[in-house]
Amino acid sequence: MLLSVEDLSVHIGVINPLSDLSFGVDRGQILGLVGESGSGKSLTAMAVMGLLPLIGGRISAGRILFDGTDLAKLPEAALRGYRGRRIALVTQNPMTALDPVVRVGRQVDVMGRMHLGLSADEARRRTIELLTRLRIPEAQAVCEAYPHQLSGGMKQRIVIAIALAGEPDLIVADEPTTALDVTVQAQIIHLLGELVRDRGLGMLLITHDMGVVAQVCDQVAVLYAGRLAESRPAEALFEHPLHPYTSALIGCIPRDGMAPGSLHGIAGAVPSVARYPAGCRFHPRCPRAGEICARQTPELTELTGAGRLACHFPLEGTHG
């Protein structure tokens, strides 16, 4: 397993926003980490990247094994050898991820020079090759452009090029299509899928869009209020979700032929990290909740075949 997160818990001061989180990503595989805003997805990305100290956070329990090395135990100096070089981050807003006063070619060049020891000419040649591979027309001319001269979709391709320039083994993509229109979203998602398969990378794709997950992911981990609700192969999860929250998320995906007004959201909202309810954190919004759900946290159990589930009253058949 390329990346294995085991029983991860995170604290920010006395607040515990992530608890007992476990999932894995292998080479040539895309794991979708899904959930509503506030579920802890971006915080998980920060933990994997070793960036929690920037927000006053720390890993309070568990391990983050990357190629057998526990990143959670490494000092900052050692983590710098992984960031960018072996683990790359694609951020959710390309408009703010790029330096507005530096030409985009130079922003890609610096990764090859820093992590691969390339000369200026070698780095530029490699940048042009990357941009061409990412289907950017007239790549040499684009290298001379500033970010404000490019479209949103083009900026996102530049951000992906920066992530790839260090030849990483793992890409953490945090909502990589949030700021893009639907057509460009589809292009970027298709492109990310091709990169993982063609280059044998692993990818942790963080999103709240279940439609995106259905298109590209091999495995899915469903996160709710800082805890794992369900983790299973994508095809099985979409065909037969077991957790009521997973079923509710899938029910929010628009489908062809739906009658007007028949698409429903999930009642309520994700609780604040300062006020997580006792027991199952989804129980105040769950139509299947019983008395035990309000007082006892469901254990994360291994499923027959593959996957994990944390629910007192899992679904037995259909969803919606």
| Nearest one of 31, 4, 6, 29 to 18, comparing CA atoms | 6
Please give the pLDDT value at position 91. 83
Report pTM.
0.91
> How many of the other CB atoms lie within 10 Å of CB of 88?
26
| Contact of 284 with 303, CB cutoff 8 Å | no
Which pLDDT value is given to residue 264? 78
Structure tokens at 52: 């929690």
**Domain ranges across the chain:** 1-86+170-182+196-255+262-320, 100-167
Which homologous superfamily is 1-86+170-182+196-255+262-320 in?
Answer: P-loop containing nucleotide triphosphate hydrolases (3.40.50.300)
What pLDDT sits at residue 179?
A: 67
Which burial class, exposed, middle or buried, applies to 259 when counting CB atoms under 10 A from its CB (0-12, 13-18, 19+)?
A: exposed
Distance of CA 217 to the CA centre of its chain: 11
Distance (Å, whole) CA 70 – CA 242? 31
Note the pLDDT of residue 48: 96
Q: What is the mean pLDDT of each run of 10 residues along the chain (320 residues)?
A: 96 95 95 94 95 96 96 94 93 85 96 94 95 91 96 90 93 84 81 88 91 91 97 95 95 82 85 94 96 96 90 72
Residue with structure tokens 């019983």?
Answer: 290
